[in-house]
Amino acid sequence: MPIQATEKIWMDGEYVDWDEARVHVLTPSLHYGWGVFEGIRAYERADGASAVFRLTDHMERLFRSAKIYHMEPPVSLEGAVKVTKDLVAMNGVPTCYVRPIVYLGFGEMGLNPLNSPVRMAIACWPWGAYLGEDAFETGVRVKVSSWRRLDANIIPPAAKATGQYLNSSLAKAEAVKAGYDEGILLNPNGYVTDGSGENVFLVRDGVLCTPPLAAGCLAGITRASILQIAADEGIRVREADMVRTDLYLADEAFFTGTAAEVVPIREVDDRVLGDPGPITRRLQEVFTAATRGRDERYRDWLEPVT
């Protein structure tokens, strides 16, 4: 999706003009994919104020990812939270996507990352529906990818790292070139893991099912939100390994993610699941209300921009 430029980007303690936010072509992160990032959304609440959805949770995951990759961000967790709020306000975008990234700066080259300076940037911009505006209502067509999700002992799925998303990009490109909207990856044991950038859920006989984290999927913030909402709504939840035929035979299925939000899956490998079902619709409804400040149960998920 095209990016709409905003005014400022925060880089290593300074707010710089959008067009001046540059890194050197010889940064090791460009050459070797050594970096970690987050995707976060801010929403304009029902009262007209802007709030960032589960901002601290996202930043905590960013710092966990950085720890796995031997990086110490050049700002504290509290500082990163404050910078994000200030940046959203400064750019005047109450509803937007936020991208923090921690990466290696110029100065060293080679496969040893330990001597390179650690850099950090945060940007935000208006961004619409990741899988298309119609996807919320009609759902998406999905292909099980021929590419397998990386094994946990090859690249750790607990970290949201830049280089590992080559795996996801290959699955996405394969699906799009084949005429589908998105791909779903299986792990090396053949169990369903996730989409290229989303967690996956299915409904069978009234039970909401999703792969366990041990299957290799990212510990998604939206995933955790949906699990909490489902429990609050009295929907039975099960985390269990699933194979591709579980997707074919599901009564309902949907993706979750910061970019995608909650998007129904209407078809998997040309097996039609049908229109979005009642559980998917209810979870969509409550999640949307939560992000816009219309459900008091989830007020603490919204961190106001001041």
Q: Examine the residue annotation and report whether 82 is marked as an active-site residue of this protein.
A: no
d(CA 143, CA 55): 32
Residue ranges of alpha helices (H) inside 92-144 are 135-138
Overall residue count recorded for the chain in this entry: 306
The upper half-sphere exposure of residue 288, i.e. CA atoms within 13 Å in the direction of its Cβ, equals 11
Other beta carbons within 10 angstroms of residue 95's beta carbon come to: 16
Which own/partner contact pairs does 76-82 have at CB distance under 8 Å and 24+ positions apart? 80/120, 80/122, 81/55, 81/56, 81/303
Which residues are within 8 A (CB) of 101 and not within 5 positions of it... i.e. 6 or more apart? 35, 36, 37, 38, 120, 121, 122, 162
CA distances to 142, 181, 184 from 174, rounded to whole Å, are: 11, 10, 11
**Helix 278-291 and helix 221-232, axial crossing angle in degrees, nearest 10:** 110
Q: How far apart are CA 93 and CA 50, in angstroms?
A: 8
Spot the catalytic one: 143, 160, 172, 177: 160
- Torsion angle, alpha carbons of 174, 37, 59, 183, to 10: 0
Distance CA 287, CA 202 (A): 17
Total Cβ atoms within 10 A of residue 256: 26
What residues act catalytically?
Answer: 160
